[in-house]
Amino acid sequence: MNHSWPIAERASRFDLGVVHDSLKVPGGMPGLWRCEFPTDRLIWSDAVYDLFGLPRGALITRQDAVRLYAEHSRAAMERLRNHALKHHRGFTLDVELRPVNGGVRWMRLVAAPFFRGGTLTALEGLKFDVSALYR
């Protein structure tokens, strides 16, 4: 799954109940994440650390996190991310991860730009395990 959507659809994409109930994802509730600009500082909920196989609360850079994406997923994510930031759009993408603790995991990434006072200050969204959909 991958697609871009208008930022006006943000409310329908980020209502956790709607997202979780409508997708019936077997991996549990999504993790929340945020990447702040201009520093690329990451803020993750515990569920996101678990997806990446990292200790909860560990300091991780965006570059470190992106290295855990399979190459084809990393390339697709970067293209959609750049498009989202340039055109003020959200996006949804399923990516293949290589978690630190081994194995392969599929993650659904839902992202949207966040603005404060008309200025783009972050990209934020949901990440959740959809591995069962790829078995």
Tens of pLDDT, residue by residue over 44-64, are 999 999 999 999 999 999 999
Q: What pLDDT is attached to residue 22?
A: 42
Low pLDDT (below 70) residues in the chain:
1-28
For residue 29, the 8-state DSSP code is S
Q: How many CB atoms lie within 10 A of CB 96?
A: 18
* Residue 112 vs residues 2, 59, 90, 102: alpha-carbon distances, Å: 14, 23, 4, 29
Q: Is there a contact between 81 and 3 (Cβ–Cβ < 8 Å)?
A: no
**What is the model's pLDDT at position 38?**
94
- Where do the domains of the chain lie? 2-134
Three-state secondary-structure class, residue 121: strand
pLDDT the model gives residue 62: 97
Bond prior to 30 in cis (omega within 30° of 0): no
Q: How far apart are CA 41 and CA 59, in angstroms?
A: 10
CB proximity list for 37: less than 8 A, separation 6 or greater: 120, 121, 122, 123
57: left (phi over 0), alpha (psi -120 to 50) or beta: left
CATH superfamily assigned to domain 2-134:
PAS domain (3.30.450.20)
**d(Cα 80, Cα 71) in Å, to the nearest integer?**
14
